Homo-oligomer: A and B are copies of this chain.
Amino acid sequence: MHSPGYLANHVARLFASGLQERIKPLGIVPGQFPALLELFERDGLTQKELVGRLDVEQATLANTLARMERDGLITRREHPADSRARTIHLTEKARAIRERAYEAANDTNEAVLAGLAPDERRQFIALMQKTIQANNPDA
């Protein structure tokens, strides 16, 4: 089993389970992470805007946002100009875990890549980026 596809799946699960463990105390789960990070950077985006920044499908994000709302991480307000859309806002609870969330992500990356030398890590990251680029028609 050293098919690249198999390996990639396995590596991704290493990151996901490592992150899950670390952020569990914060009351969040890995799937919420990308949305959370974007909203930390820029609050009040619409779902469509978020989809544009997070490589997941709209339906996937809709479900994730529903869970985040359920979990008290976000609230939604009516869009000032388009009543089909809603703007998404972090709650106090979400803002409060910001620093620890970043730490958890860094710690996870550090831990999973602990077996690689600094040079290797850079290569690894570059190769993943290059692979994604090459498969992304609109880049």
Contact = CB atoms under 8 A, between A and B. Distances in A.
Contact of A11 (B14, B112, B113, B132): B132
A112 B135 contact: yes
A4 B113 CA distance: 9
Nearest to A53: B1
A91 interface: no
Interface string A14-58: 111011000000000000001001000000000000000011000
A121 to B, nearest CB: 7
Contacts of A105: 3, 5
Contacts of A10: 55, 128, 132
B112 A130 contact: no
